[in-house]
Structure 1
Amino acid sequence: MTVNWLDYSYAALVASGGIVGYAKAGSVPSLVAGLAFGGLAGLGAYQQSQDPKNVWLSLIASGTLTGVMGMRFYNSKKFMPAGLIAGARFVPRIIHHLA
């Protein structure tokens, strides 16, 4: 059993993004979405640590978040936070394939 640290890091990034959005702008939707998607991503990372073939929760959570944040980035042209979160999902996969 190997621990999936990259996916746990992604989950922490998403959750902390929601917290920062709430702290800076008082955005309750950012807080709720960040904690919800961060929690789902963390649960998905845990499931993958137990069984590397169990990718469905991670795939659904990150795919949904990437789609939503990708559209926000496309519409606003602002990298922070939408572009960062939309692109961050691909970093663990790229690193995993390079290793």
Structure 2
Amino acid sequence: MFRIYCPYCGELREEEEFHPKGPAHLARPADPDNCTDEQWGDFLYFRDNPRGLHNELWVHALGCRKFFNVTRDTQTYLIKGSYRLGESPDQARTSGDQA
């Protein structure tokens, strides 16, 4: 089990309070009405499964219920930091950082 820092609550909490929701920073198609079925299916269902550092979307389901991003190493499970939606990964905070 690991602990995750919620950038909205400002607290380091147990993993059970959070749920992963997939990769962060996914760009929706600019004009979904004109996508082919194949393009739309690729957007909805096909994701990379990188080894190493990866930005993920998480929700603090049993806390503030807000979505945020986490930078995590998928090989070691080590969390490098978390940051609010709209921020960039270089603004990631850990429990010792100031919000």
Do both proteins adopt the same fold according to a TM-score greater than 0.5, normalized to the shorter chain?
no
TM bucket, shorter chain: under 0.3
Question: Greater CA radius of gyration, 1 or 2?
Answer: 2
TM-score (normalizing by structure 2): 0.24
TM-score (normalizing by structure 1): 0.24
Would you tell me which structure has more helix in proportion to its own residues? 1
